Amino acid sequence: MFIDGVGLGADAAENPFFALRTPGLDSILDGRRFTAETVGYSGNKATLLGLDATLGVPGLPQSATGQASIFTGINAPAYLGGHLNGFPNFKLRGLLALKGIFKRLRQIGYRVCFANAYRPQFFDLLAKGLPDHHYSCSTLVTYYGGIKFFSMDDLFNGRAIYMDITNNLLKYQDYELPQITPEEGAMHLANLSRKYDFCLFEYFLSDLAGHHADQDQVEQVVDTLDRFIGTLALNVATDDTFLMVCSDHGNLEDNAVNDHTCNPVPLLMIGNPDLRRLIGDKTENLTHLLAGVEKGLSWKG
C-alpha cells in the first residue's frame, strides 16, 4: 500500500497521527503510536522503520521523484539532479518504462495488479495510446508494465478499489456506486490481493489534506487510513500474505506547515517476523523498497 504524503512526525499536537485517536494503528504497533518515536520497533504483529525520502539530494522531497524511486529502485532525484513535484517528466517516464516495478516482476513470472479503479474518461485516453498528459507514477508503471487497468465495472463488482477507499467522491460525479466503509474497502483489497503474487494500492488524499491544512479533511483522512490499515492487518497478514505500507515524502504528519517535510517516511511491515527482518535489513531509503518487494516474493522459494 502506497500512501502519498505521510511522514513520521513527533509526538506533538501538530501531528494528527499523535493528536487524534488511531486505534487500528495503535493495535498493530502493540499500543505504540504511528510516529517517529516508534521507529525501529518490531513486535508480534509489525515492524516500523523510518526511511530517508531526501535520498541525499538538497531540497524538500517531492512526489514525482519519490514515487519513481519507490517504483524503480533508482535514486530519481539524483538521476534528475533535483526533486520533481507533481507528475513525471519525459526523463522520468523513460526510467519508469525501463525499470518499473510491474514490468520487472512480470518478467520473472509473477502475477501482479494495480488495485485502483479508473473512470471511463481515462479509458478514452488509453485507447489513444495514453498520450502525453499528466499521469502519476503508479499509472505509468501499470501502463508500461502491460497489465490491466481496472474500471468502474470492476469496482462495482468488488474486483477493484477506488482511490478514496469509500467511493464517497464518486457520488459527486454522478456514479451510482454504493458507498462503503474503510473496513469494507480493506476487505475488497484483501480479497483481490489473494489472486496475485503482488498487489499495489495507492491512496493520495493524504497529501492533498496536508496541503489544504483543513482540519476536518485531515481528521477524515487519518480516520479512514487507521480503519483501513487496521482491517487489512487483521485480514491479509498471514503466513501466506505480507503487507507493506510506505510513502514518498512527509506532509500530513505536521499540521504546522502545509508543504512537504524532510521527516522520515514509514515502512510499516505487517506479517511474518522472519520476513520483516529480511526486508528490513539494509532498507534505509526509498530506493530499497523495490528490493524489499523482490525479497518478499522470493522468500522460501
**pLDDT the model gives residue 174:** 79
pTM of the complete model: 0.96
Q: Are 111 and 99 in contact (CB under 8 A)?
A: no
Cell, residue 263: 521527516
**pLDDT the model gives residue 130:** 74
Q: Are 62 and 83 in contact (CB under 8 A)?
A: yes
Domains within the chain, CATH numbers bracketed = 2-298 (3.40.720.10)
**pLDDT the model gives residue 300:** 67
The label of the residue with cell 505521510 reads 6
**pLDDT the model gives residue 301:** 59
Across the chain, which has 301 residues, the per-10-residue mean pLDDT values are 98 98 98 98 96 97 98 98 95 96 97 96 86 86 96 93 96 86 96 95 96 95 98 80 96 95 97 94 96 91 59
Contacts 24+ apart (CB under 8 A), 218-223: 218/16, 218/252, 218/255, 219/16, 219/20, 221/252, 222/16, 222/17, 222/20, 222/22, 222/252, 223/20, 223/182
**pLDDT the model gives residue 15:** 98
